[in-house]
Amino acid sequence: MSEGSVRTTAQLAEAARDPVPAIAGIAAAPVTERARPNAAAFAPVAWARANLFSGWISTAVTLALIYLIARWAIGFFDWGILHAVWTVPETATGPDASACRDAKGVGACWAMIGDKYRFILFGRYTYDEQWRPAIVVALFIGLYAISAMRRFWRKELLLIWIATLTAIGVLMWGGVLGLTYVPQDSWGGLPITLILSTFGLALAFPLAVLVALGRRSTQLPAVKALCVLYVELIRGVPLITLLFMASVMFPLFMPAGFNPDKLLRAQVAVILFAGAYLAEVVRGGLQSLPRGQYEAADALGLSYWKKTSLIVLPQALRLVIPPLVNTFIGFFKDTSLVLIIGIFDLLTAGKVAITDPVWQSYSTELYLVLAAIYFAFCFVMSRYSHGLEQEFSRTVRR
């Protein structure tokens, strides 16, 4: 975050130097009238004069915006904190939400979240066993954190991924090590979102590398055509159609009697979808590698697979890590689409939570909480990929 704000300040300084914004017509102060650094002036005042009140239009816009922000912030504070209902009394028939009903329109009803948070996070997973999905979420976060650290970018990382994903499977299903078996139908909430996106990425990645290599191939026109067809077909249609295919057409494709679980089918759809997008990302990496690298490998007499695995991929994949993270953010958000085919991910669990007659009219509160969860994951990842991008571009320039 701090790096981000430093960058922005530098950018703003740059923006202040070049005439783009003035032309853009918002802060249309003539260049000559710009406040000059004055040795006697107090620094924040000088800064404010240069960046907030540099002309009469700029001043007017600033004042109007400050007024609007203040009004909105006060309103939100009133609604979200001052007049909010944090807890409601528990009765024999369930929570008594009359306090929330009285505060409707004036204050938020956070009591709903307090009552339902375990359902939102873990869905219909056996209540007494919900420590297992909680550990799974922690494992996922740990896996992301380790993968993000440069010093773990080695072959052993693959083993860590396999081990963690296996542990996640064991924890979710149970049935071994004294854990009770929990069928897939009753999984739900945040773990499903994480499973769909992470397994989707992990399993789509090898596929994507193969497809990208196939698409770059000059020697195998038939394979190339096949790869182009796959990538363009998948990228041309919305994810929804693939999910529909998984839920409606998949049973038709399989031999009679073989009917895999809905979650598994959706996972296959996500993998196929992710494969096409990742293939394009990987292809970008392959293309940005200088031709000399390929020619040098050829000159050494390396075979195609040796050249690819020893020379090309290690360099190309490093380059694509930032766009890879960005694509992952996309998948993470897009897994929410499984709502439409009725899979219990975080968003679906939230929507089901407010079908409870007691809490029916408090969807705003719910959506704000869900938004905060999604935002926390995506924001951290996007900051990370941004930092990495900056670092890489520095290295390349040197």
Partner 1 sequence: MSGAVIDPRQAPIRAAPKKALSLSWSDPRFRNIVWQVVVLGTVALIVWYLVQNTTRNLAARRIATGFAFLGRTAGIPIGEALIDYDPSISTYGRALLIGLLNTLKVAVVGVVLATILGTLLGIARLSKNWLIARLSAIYVEVIRDLPVLLQLLFWYTALQGLPTPKNSFHPLPGVFLSNRGIKIPVVEWETPFWWALAAFVVGVIGTVAWSRSATRQQEATGVRPKVWPVALGFLVGFPVLIWGALGAPFAVEMPVLRGFNFTGGATVSPEYSALTLGLVIYTSSYIAEIVRSGILAVPTGQWEAAGALGMRSGTVLRKIVLPQALRVIIPPMTSQYLNLTKNSSLAVAIGYQDIVSIASTTLNQTGQAIEGIAAIMLVYLIISLSISLLMNWYNARIALVER
Helical pair 190-216 and 221-236, crossing angle rounded to 10 deg: 150
Check if the beta carbon of residue 389 is closer than 8 Å to that of residue 382: no
Q: What does residue 311 show for φ and ψ, rounded to 5 degrees?
A: -110, -50
| Residue 302 interacting with partner 1 (CB under 8 A) | no
| Residue 352 interacting with partner 1 (CB under 8 A) | no
Least distance from partner 1 to the Cβ atom of residue 2, Å: 15
The residue within the footprint of partner 1, chosen from 147, 184, 241, 390 (CB under 8 A), is 241
**Beta bridge mates, 345:** 189
Check if the beta carbon of residue 103 is closer than 8 Å to that of residue 83: yes
Check if the beta carbon of residue 386 is closer than 8 Å to that of residue 4: yes
Q: What does residue 120 show for φ and ψ, rounded to 5 degrees?
A: -65, -40
| Residue 369 interacting with partner 1 (CB under 8 A) | no
| Residue 219 interacting with partner 1 (CB under 8 A) | yes
Site for partner 1 in 25-44 (CB under 8 A): 26-27, 29
Q: Binding mask 54-83 vs partner 1 (x if CB under 8 A, - otherwise)?
A: x---x--xx--xx--x--------------
Amino acid at 21: P
Residues in Cβ contact with 231 at an 8 Å cutoff, skipping those fewer than 6 apart: 211, 215, 276, 279, 280
Give the up-direction half-sphere exposure of residue 10: CA atoms within 13 A in the CB hemisphere: 6
| Residue 109 interacting with partner 1 (CB under 8 A) | no
| Residue 249 interacting with partner 1 (CB under 8 A) | yes
Least distance from partner 1 to the Cβ atom of residue 15, Å: 5
58/308 with CB nearer partner 1? 58
52/289 with CB nearer partner 1? 52
User: What is the distance between the alpha carbons of residues 88 and 77, in angstroms, rounded to a whole number?
Assistant: 20
Residues that bind partner 1 (CB under 8 A): 8, 12, 15-24, 26-27, 29, 51-52, 54, 58, 61-62, 65-66, 69, 219-223, 226, 233, 236-241, 244-245, 248-249, 251-256, 329, 333-334, 336-337, 339-340, 347, 351, 363-364, 367, 370-371, 374-375, 378-379, 382
